[in-house]
Amino acid sequence: MNTRTRSFTPWYQRKRTRDIALVACFLLPSLAIFFLYRILPLLWNLVLSFEYWSPLKPAKFAGLDQYREIFLEDDVFWQSLTNSLAFVAAAPFAIALALGIALLVNSDLKGASVYRAIVFISYPLMSVAVGIIWKWLYDERGGIINYALRSAGLVTKPIPFLQSFDYALPSVIVAEVWQVIGFYMIILLTGLQSVPPHLYEAASVDGVPRWAQFWRITLPLLRSSLFLCAVIGILNSFTSFDLIYVMTGGGPGHATELLVTHIYKTGFGQTRFDYAAALTVVQFILLLALTWLANRAAGGNAGAHDTGRA
């Protein structure tokens, strides 16, 4: 009798199951660490934001009270949010500047690699060092900026850059841009170098002017690099803790307070970990929204790998 019997393999013996199990085994340690150090604290932070809690007192349900205080009573939150958004708003200018430099050092400019190194050199510096450098540059009495301005006759009295409500935030933003611009430049330079040269050649043959080549070829193909810069810019804007801490401590008043410094001061300076947790949730949502907006602005799937095909 020639009967065709279909052999039955239990699910746990199937090759696909074994493959999945193997992959899971490899992934598990990383996932466990990710869960333990990222997801769990996030969830704990979320829970904490709905409680009254301090290290030595039992937790009590607070409902939305912490959030009510944030939005209705906390002037410093609004000030630090405005400041954080001002930092974010500076990112496009920094990226535009970095793009300009990247285009220059990507051209046949003599000594381009030297310029590239000079621009990039600020990035590996620790933020604390950058803060100290700029703090001295801005110093009202001994700072080189004031010395130069006075020597050039541009001002008669020294400008208290970091002690003034008007100048403190822009001054810190300049230092932040100075530090990060080299990194943006490298990202954009890598993007520029991945643009296939034949596209420019074809465009030149067709008589397309340089500005149109930039607009129609360079910029669209730099989309993923620009998106990356934008995301880094947004994240930097919200997390420039070291720089602010060293240069101004968030002052004068709260003129340079960012959400992240406000969170730190509230948690560790005033022992309000519950309230700091709620502030952190608000910051997290804001970052999520801004990153989504940046992605939308870059065309919707900017994080996807760019093939370089036009």
> Is 175 within 8 Å of 247 (Cβ atoms)?
yes
> What minimum distance in Å lies between the beta carbon of 265 and another protein?
7
> Is 147 within 8 Å of 141 (Cβ atoms)?
no
Select 252 or 303, whichever has its Cβ closest to another protein.
252
H-run or E-run covering 51 = strand 51-54
Select 138 or 238, whichever has its Cβ closest to another protein.
138
Select 116 or 272, whichever has its Cβ closest to another protein.
272
Select 76 or 101, whichever has its Cβ closest to another protein.
76
What count of other Cβ atoms lies within 10 Å of the Cβ of residue 249?
A: 13
Select 25 or 72, whichever has its Cβ closest to another protein.
72
> What minimum distance in Å lies between the beta carbon of 145 and another protein?
16
Which amino acid is present at 272?
A: R
Select 163 or 213, whichever has its Cβ closest to another protein.
163
Q: Which residue has 């205080």 as its token pair?
A: 69
> What minimum distance in Å lies between the beta carbon of 268 and another protein?
5
Which amino acid is present at 20?
A: I
Whole-number Cα distances in Å, 285 to 79, 267, 279: 18, 19, 10
> What minimum distance in Å lies between the beta carbon of 283 and another protein?
19
> What minimum distance in Å lies between the beta carbon of 124 and another protein?
24
Select 204 or 271, whichever has its Cβ closest to another protein.
271
Question: Strands 51-54 and 57-61: what pairing?
Answer: antiparallel
Q: Which of 123, 240, 107 is nearest to 182 (CA)?
A: 123
> What minimum distance in Å lies between the beta carbon of 280 and another protein?
16
Q: Which of 284, 236, 237, 247 is nearest to 48 (CA)?
A: 284
Which amino acid is present at 29?
A: P
> What minimum distance in Å lies between the beta carbon of 92 and another protein?
29
> What minimum distance in Å lies between the beta carbon of 285 and another protein?
25
Backbone angles phi, psi at 58, to 5 degrees: -65, 145
Which amino acid is present at 11?
A: W
Q: Which residue has 């869960």 as its token pair?
A: 35
Select 142 or 299, whichever has its Cβ closest to another protein.
142
Site of interaction with another protein (CB under 8 A): 54-57, 73, 76, 140-141, 160, 162-165, 248-249, 251-254, 265, 268-273
SS3 for 304? coil
Whole-number Cα distances in Å, 160 to 143, 178, 226: 10, 20, 35
Select 98 or 162, whichever has its Cβ closest to another protein.
162
Which two three-digit tokens encode residue 288?
Answer: 């999520």
> Is 20 within 8 Å of 12 (Cβ atoms)?
no
> What minimum distance in Å lies between the beta carbon of 166 and another protein?
9
